[in-house]
Amino acid sequence: MKVGLVIERFEPGGGGVEAIAWTVAHALEAAGDEVHVVARQASDSSRLAVHRVRVSAAWQPLRVLRFSRAAAAHMRLLGCDVVHSFSRTRHQDVFRAGGGSHADYLLRSYGPWARRWRRISPRHAVLLGIERRVFADPRQVIQCNSAMVERELAARYRIPPERRVVIPNGVDLERFQPGRDAAGARMRADLGVGHRGVWLLAGSGLRRKGLDTALRALAQGGPPDAELWVAGRDDPRPWQRLAEDLGVGGRVRFLGPRGDMQIVYAAADALILPTRYDAFANVCLEAAACGVPVLTTSRNGAAEALGDGARVIENPSDADGFAAALDQLSDPATRDAMGRAARRRAEAFSWDAHVAALRALYARVAA
């Protein structure tokens, strides 16, 4: 098939959606499809047909609208059998709701402030406007990356079942796999951790990811000498102050962004992610593939996929619940059993399975 993919930034080392789009595009090409990518910004390292559109990046709301229009115009010229968008764009055959419902994201992330943000923020107004129009368009199929997202969209926007399809994210089962104990031990030795416990929180947007809850749980539960490692791009200073106030400042280590997450997972005893809203947190699937137990919330679409490889706390602000879970995960036998279960669950989410499901969807849409 001739497949068109729309993504603002087409780069292998970008954030979650950029990495997913890069992987999918090259896997489709390897499967024999003719792939065309329309992007605002793109790496020169791809062998695919990449079409760059000129859009000013000066102001995000205007940039989003202009990219949406430019991508639609370019795709009309290309005449693809199916167009799949990974970005917030208005016109396509398949729309990947990778961030879930933006309305639910605001509600879960900001609570009582969500309504005010919707009124005063041009960015949120634009994203909500595109969302409403896409979900109301009967010609478009909505790809949900978790059952949680499908339920939210069905409830909020009344999208009929024939327009909804759940295709969860994939994971590189070769890069992320158990058995890197030596590399993990070296990292722990380099950081002077020794045999002390290590909990890991990974991701950017640390307020939404629930770092405040993780810090409070660290102060209340688990071994008294265990460390919390935080891997991500955010400014650590506000969180360092909170850690000091809670009396755990010396037990929190900010690693910054990492390109060797497979080693970081190997060094950790468990992943803790008290997220307020994640359509599908990729770090949970990566950790699970490495055989690392996952502790997260019911507001993470990945939680259902991991089954007995994860402990799920209902309320992202429930520091007592997370502390009790850290107490349970302090037992090596419990961690080992959960880690094996996590790997078994992750093996169902290979990129081959993901791309096969997409190609079946494309054939249905094109027909």
pLDDT digits 0-9 by tens, 191-202: 999 999 999 999
Q: Which CATH number is 2-170+350-366 given?
A: 3.40.50.2000
Q: What is the pLDDT of residues 348-357, one digit of tens each?
A: 999 999 999 9
- Residue range 183-191: mean pLDDT, rounded: 96
pLDDT band, residue 16 (cuts 50/70/90): confident
> Residue 312: which H helix or E strand, with range?
strand 310-313
Structure tokens at 213: 């809850």
Q: What is the pLDDT of residues 95-134, one digit of tens each?
A: 999 999 888 888 888 776 666 666 678 888 899 999 999 9
- The torsion defined by the Cα of 312, 315, 320 and 322, in degrees rounded to 10, comes to 30
Q: 181-346 falls under which CATH superfamily?
A: Glycogen Phosphorylase B; (3.40.50.2000)
> Which part of the chain has CATH 3.40.50.2000?
2-170+350-366, 181-346
Q: What is the pLDDT of residues 262-284, one digit of tens each?
A: 999 999 999 999 999 999 999 99
Structure tokens at 137: 């368009």
- Residue range 142-163: mean pLDDT, rounded: 96
Q: Where are the alpha helices (DSSP H) in the chain?
A: 16-30, 60-78, 102-110, 114-120, 122-136, 147-157, 181-190, 206-209, 211-220, 237-245, 261-267, 282-289, 302-306, 319-329, 332-346, 351-366
**With pLDDT > 70 as the criterion, what percentage of the chain qualifies?**
97
Provide the pLDDT for residue 14.
Answer: 63
Look at the pTM and tell me if it is higher than 0.85: yes
Residue 222's CB is within 10 A of a number of other CB atoms, namely 26
Residue 200's CB is within 10 A of a number of other CB atoms, namely 25
Provide the pLDDT for residue 118.
Answer: 61
Q: What is the pLDDT of residues 308-329, one digit of tens each?
A: 999 999 999 999 999 999 999 9
- Taken as a whole, the chain contains a residue count of 367
Dihedral pair phi/psi, residue 58, rounded to 5°: -65, -40
Provide the pLDDT for residue 113.
Answer: 64
